[in-house]
Structure formats: structure tokens, C-alpha cells
Structure 1
Amino acid sequence: MPAGSAPQGPLCPGTAHRIFTGAPVPEGSDAVVMQEDVVRDGDFVVLNRAVHPAQHIRFAGEEREAGSALVPPGVLLGPREIAASAAAGQDCVAVRPRLRLAILTSGDEVRESGSDLSEGEIWDVNAPMLQAALTSPATEIVDIVHVADNPGAVLRAIAALVPRVDLLVTCGGVSVGEEDHMKQVIHALGGETLFSGVALKPGKPVTLGRVGNCHWLGLPGNPLSAFVTWQLFGKPLLQVLSGVARSAVPRRMVVLNEAVSHKAGRCEIRPARLCGPDMQGRDRVICEPGLNSARIASLHATDGLLFLPSEVDHLPQGSLVEFQPFYD
């Protein structure tokens, strides 16, 4: 009996029928014996080992009861979830709409990466970095805009973007300088600030706010600061707004391969590279001796973020320090 065919009739007690993998078992059969364990002798079969009831038989509905949840709400659909749905005959599942996003960078000195630079100008790192970070099956990047450090230009750009998106991510303009206009513009548009400023280095000015139905995440303008604050605040925010059920952040304790010093008073976060286990099997990490929030060229060679506690200014070699791997 090949797979996909219907049984031709019931099996009588003491009889056997040849069957292929995946075929439905005839009524009256209670076990399947692998071909390797059977010797055929004319119209008889000889079994080489004992047979147990239900052996090699899959019963309809044995994996899940009717009405039970296959994939709970808040789970991102991947190959495993889609396989489970397909196995239950679900060719269509209900999903949330993609989150609409916009990226707004600012700065008179910032130019598109790869363009010719004049004196005092720099290439834009934040826009392409954030575009890569925000791109996923759960998101739709509606627009990427750059504006000069001018309050009128910033206000016009944000006013045009806010009605079109669920989350606006800006870079720059959230500190306390004369050319930092983001917070004032958000308030001028009737928005609110949920928090502004954190005791972290880099990333102290990071700000979260809301204008109507649009959430706003204001990242610092320095590229490393923008990257770190996106990892710590942006990714969890994106999960919440996308409806993804949040899991615990995968932080763990690691061992410093070299002594590290920093200025106490704020938790300092440094990109770090794993360099193998120590004699006790604990992961060791190594990081740059200092922190410069504008330097980002070596970021690709790191594996996660190292958290240097605020209450100490020196950590000797072998110290246990909190580490958060980069995660998708």
C-alpha cells in the first residue's frame, strides 16, 4: 500500500499487508514491522523480533489536541512556526501588520556616505547603520530623511513623518547644545517626553517620546552612541511595538582578559570581543582600552557590549563583568 492511497479493506486477525512509509494503516491493524525485521516465506512472513502494539504507527491528532494553540500570540514566524502551522493544515494565519518606521538624521556637517566632502564635513554613518538595524520582515521603512540643524527644517520634517509612521527614530539633536532642536520640536507638535537622559556612557542624551500615535526614539548623533543606545533601548522598543513577546535579554557574566579602567560615576558600555574560555570554562572578553563615541571602524570585530559598573574605576584582570551578546 503506497503513501497517499486509501486502504483496500480491513485486516483480519493473524494477517499482514505490505505498506510503505506514510501510508494509512488498514482497519484492524495494530502495528507496523520494518521490512528489515521480516522474512517472507511464500504467503507467510516470519518476524525476527517481538512486536509491540502501535509500533511505528502515528495516530491522527497525537501531537496536538483539537482546539489547542499551535503558535501563541507574539511569536515571530520562522521556519519552525510555519512548519507547525503547515502540519496542522493551516495555510493562512493571522499576523500583525508590519511596523511603519522612519529614520531622521540631522547635522549641517553630515553628507551622504561616499560623496565628496568639503572641509568640516563627515560621511553619514547613522542612516545606513540604522537602516540595516531596522530592516526585518516585521518592519517597513517608510522614509529616510536628513535635515540641517535648523529648527524650522526639523519641525517640517517631523510634522510630515509623524502621521505616516508608528515609530520615528532620530539621530542627533537631543543633547543640550544650541543646535539641538529635537525635543523642542516634539513638544511644539503637541508631543510628550517619556524620559530624557540616562546614566550611561556613551548614550547619555537618549530620549523617548510620543507624538499622537507615533512613538519617537531620539538617539545621540555620535555613531557609537547611536549604536549602543539602539541595542539597549531601540531593539526592545521595536519588539514591544511589533507585538513580539519579549524574552529575557541574553546577558551573562564573563571574565576580563585584561585589566580595564574607566571614570566612575556612570555605567560605561564598551563593545567587546570574546576570546575563548578560561581554565574554568568561563568566557573571556577583551575590549578597547578607552572609549570614543565617534569611533566605529572596529565595531564589526566585536561580539557584544560590556557593562563597566559605575561604582568602580578599575577592574583587574580576571574580574567578572556583565556582557550582552549582540542578538537578532
Structure 2
Amino acid sequence: MTATDWDKARSLAYEAGRAAAGPVETVPLAVADGRTLAEPLVTLTDLPAFPTSSIDGWAVRGAGPWRPVGRILAGGTADPLTGDGTCVEIATGAMVPVGADALIRVEESARDAAGLVSGTPRPAPEWRLPGDEAHRGEELLPAGTPVDPAVLGMAATCGYDTIPVRPQPRAALLVFGDELLTSGPPGDGRVRDSLGPLVPAWLRRSGATVDPAAVRGPVQDTLEAHIEAIRHGLAVADVVCTTGGTMHGPVDHLHPALEALGADYIVNTVAVRPGFPMLLARVPGPDGRPKFLAGLPGNPQSAVIALVSLVAPLLAGLQGRGLPTLPLVTVAAPVRGRGGDTHLALAALGHDGRATPTGHAVSSMLRGLAGAHGFVVIGPDSQAAAGDTVPFLPLPLLPGERP
């Protein structure tokens, strides 16, 4: 079996998700955070929609001094200023009246005993004109933009009450392995399951929803138990992740289970180290749209590499988002290659943005992962010297989180 090139595997996972992206949903702004725009966000009117004062002060017409004839507050409609030598008191955010020649700041004005206003306008106009920010019909954000608080505020500013978004993919996790403990310290030949807590959290950071009831395990090491658990996962989720069983050992039942369920492989093993025995398969869904199973290796770091290599691109495609372009970083120390495979090497980013490889990076360990921000990507048949620039694959982050 020939392993798929890592870059190619990442693209195949993304395209599979993109082809299966769910239909457009229209939801209120209050529940749209974390979703993805299904259509461009277009202005419904000029922004601002009317001439808007940037100051507290006076809107004046003609030469001064000026006689006050009224007041305009934010939210009110301004009557025109029709007479030279007149003015109105105006608040920040209020509509500038037709006929006004200038605005004068309140702190730069004075009133005499007769109540007349005097002052000198600044050279630059102190109001925003319609269309200063955007014109009606202008595209502000493209389809595929993740919805965050800033996007919600922009949509509200434009006058939207609801916005069209893509559905959030539902994910499930099945933990395979009779040797796993779900509580307490490891011992007596058994190890603690670390992926049950870890995987759902990073699935959520990649845009999926994960119901706690959709996390099951350890699943008994029999073919029948594997098939039943996978069927249950596919019934409640769009993407099922499994841990372990991706090879062909005596208790590795994942491949026979996929065959029994009529699945076809999108990717079956990837030329990447750590993480080689990973897979992504498509399973027919009851409504004609496919569902997916991602087989993650049992070693914790390898499982995370499978998550960021196959599952995160798949979820991006399912949400209608773009496949993220990998940023470039400078490595602070040499990073070896792994022959003809891509090497994803754990690294932490310093304040200067340079990437330093972490220790404890064996695929069975999580200590190095806990102090890392992502992986430096060393291509096949290459290596990196200190000072070289290489691609960087970040670990998934929640909005607002920073490396």
C-alpha cells in the first residue's frame, strides 16, 4: 500500500468536506457566533447611512456669530438649516442637518450674553459622510468567513437581523482499546485514556459540535462491537473519529468494520511522521450526503497529527471555509527530516515569532505537545537548519486564543 503524500492528503480531506458541505441556514445574529458565512455579507445601505457628527458641538450655517435655533441628538431627525447666521446644538452620532456648512467643537466655542455662538471650525470637516465606510451593495466579507463577534457587529451595523450560515458539523469519538483506563492512574499493564478528553476539545476548536453522549469507549476489541459503535456514531454525527486500530494487528478491527459498512477510503495511510497509520473514509448517509470516519492512531501525538492533518481540513470544507494557508516561521534550532516522509515536529513560538522544537516529542508522549503551539513542517527528503524558514501548522485555537 502506497502512503499518500501529506500535502495531498490534507487537500483530499478538505475537498471531500467541501463537496459534502451542508445546505444554507438562516439564523438570528444571537446564535450565529462560531458559524460560517454561507453568502457574502453585503451592505444594505451606505455606511454611515446619513451625514453623522463626529463631535459634540454646533452645526453652523454662514458666517458667525450664530444664533441657536434648536438641538439634534443621536437618533433624531434633523430639520434643515435654512438661514445664514444660525446654528443647532449637535451631539456625537447625530444627523448633520442639510444646509450646515461646518461643525464647531463645544470646547472650542463660546456664547455671549445674548446667547450667540462664536468659534472657528477646524479645517477638516468633523462629520462622516454617507459611504465613508462602505457603499450600499458593497461586499464587506466573502462567503466562508468564520463568524466572530466582530462579524456579528458588522452585520448588525449593516442592518441584518439574520444571516445565512453553514451548519456546524457534528462530531463523535469512539475510543478503541481494552487496555485503557478512563479514571485513576495507570498501572498493572493498563494505560490511561488521554484521547477521550483531548480529541473532543480540539474538534470543537476546529468548528465541530460534540455532544458528550457522542463520546464512547473504550469499545470492546471485537469486530461486532466496532461495527455497532461506528453505526451508532454515524447515526448521531457527520464525522466519527476513532482512536487506535488503524493498522492490521490481531485486535485491529477498524478496516474490516469499514468494509462491512460499505465505506470507501479517501486517504488510507499518510506519508507523515509521526502519525503514519491514519485514514479518512466516506460512508453513505441515509439522505444521500456522505458521512465520514477518521481513523486516528492510538499513540496520542500521532492522533493529534491525524486531527490537524485530516480532520481539521475536512471540517473546514464541511463548513464552507477555505483551507488555511500555512504561515511561515523561522526555526531557532535544527530540525531533522524523516526520509521520504513529511516530518511534523512539535514547536513552540517565542515572542519573536521564531519556532523552537520542543522535547518529549515521541509519538506516545503528550508532554512536548502540552508546551507546543503547533508543528513545523519539514518536507520529504529535506531538513531545516537554524535560521531556515519553513511552513508552520498551528494547533486549533478558539476565537481569541493566541499562541
Q: Secondary structure at the match of 2:102?
A: coil
* Residue identity matched to 2:100: S
Matched residues in 1 for 2:128 and 2:342: separation?
56
Matched residues in 1 for 2:355 and 2:155: separation?
41
The answer for the alignment partner of 1:179 in structure 2 is 251
The answer for the alignment partner of 1:88 in structure 2 is 158
Greater RCO, 1 or 2 (C-alpha within 8 Å, sep 6+) = 2
Q: Aligned runs of 1:140-179 on 2, under 5 Å?
A: 140-142=209-211, 143-146=214-217, 147-179=219-251
Q: Secondary structure at the match of 2:210?
A: strand
TM-aligned CA deviation for residue 51 of structure 1: 4.7
Provide Cα deviations, 1:277-322, integer angstroms capped at 9, x if missing partner.
5xxxx7252332x74211112322122212344425x755555544
Q: Aligned runs of 1:224-243 on 2, under 5 Å?
A: 224-243=301-320
- Of the candidates 126, 132, 138, which is equivalent to residue 201 of structure 2? 132
Q: Aligned runs of 1:65-80 on 2, under 5 Å?
A: 65-80=135-150
TM-aligned CA deviation for residue 201 of structure 1: 0.7
The answer for the alignment partner of 1:17 in structure 2 is 88
The answer for the alignment partner of 1:267 in structure 2 is 342
CA contact (8 A) 1:305 1:324 kept: yes
For residues 122 and 21 of structure 1, do their structure 2 counterparts lie closer, same or farther at Cα, with a shift above 3 Å needed? same
Q: Secondary structure at the match of 1:230?
A: helix
TM-aligned CA deviation for residue 227 of structure 1: 0.9
Matched residues in 1 for 2:384 and 2:293: separation?
36
Bigger mean CA offset, 260-269 vs 165-174: 260-269
State the TM-score, normalized to the length of structure 2: 0.71
For residues 321 and 140 of structure 1, do their structure 2 counterparts lie closer, same or farther at Cα, with a shift above 3 Å needed? closer
The answer for the alignment partner of 1:119 in structure 2 is 188
Q: Aligned runs of 1:1-328 on 2, under 5 Å?
A: 1=71, 2-8=73-79, 10-41=81-112, 42-49=114-121, 51=123, 55-112=125-182, 114-115=183-184, 117=186, 119-136=188-205, 138-142=207-211, 143-146=214-217, 147-212=219-284, 213-250=290-327, 252-257=328-333, 259-261=334-336, 263-275=338-350, 277=352, 283-288=354-359, 291-312=361-382, 317-328=386-397
CA contact (8 A) 1:11 1:26 kept: no
Q: Secondary structure at the match of 2:172?
A: strand
TM-aligned CA deviation for residue 174 of structure 1: 0.9
For residues 275 and 77 of structure 1, do their structure 2 counterparts lie closer, same or farther at Cα, with a shift above 3 Å needed? closer
Name the Cα RMSD after superposition. Answer: 2.6
Q: Secondary structure at the match of 1:293?
A: coil
Q: Secondary structure at the match of 2:152?
A: helix
Aligned structure 1 segments of 4 or more residues deviating by more than 6 angstroms: none
Matched residues in 1 for 2:322 and 2:384: separation?
36
Q: Secondary structure at the match of 2:376?
A: strand
State the TM-score, normalized to the length of structure 1: 0.86
TM-aligned CA deviation for residue 244 of structure 1: 2.1
Q: Secondary structure at the match of 2:156?
A: helix
TM-aligned CA deviation for residue 22 of structure 1: 1.6
| Structure 2: gaps of 5 or more residues | 1-70, 285-289, 398-403
TM-aligned CA deviation for residue 136 of structure 1: 4.9
CA contact (8 A) 1:104 1:145 kept: yes
Provide Cα deviations, 1:66-115, integer angstroms capped at 9, x if missing partner.
33344432211111111111112212212222211111110110121x33
* Residue identity matched to 1:72: P
For residues 206 and 88 of structure 1, do their structure 2 counterparts lie closer, same or farther at Cα, with a shift above 3 Å needed? same
Q: Secondary structure at the match of 1:285?
A: strand
CA contact (8 A) 2:273 2:338 kept: no
Q: How many residues align?
A: 317
Matched residues in 2 for 1:298 and 1:186: separation?
33
Matched residues in 2 for 1:310 and 1:204: separation?
14
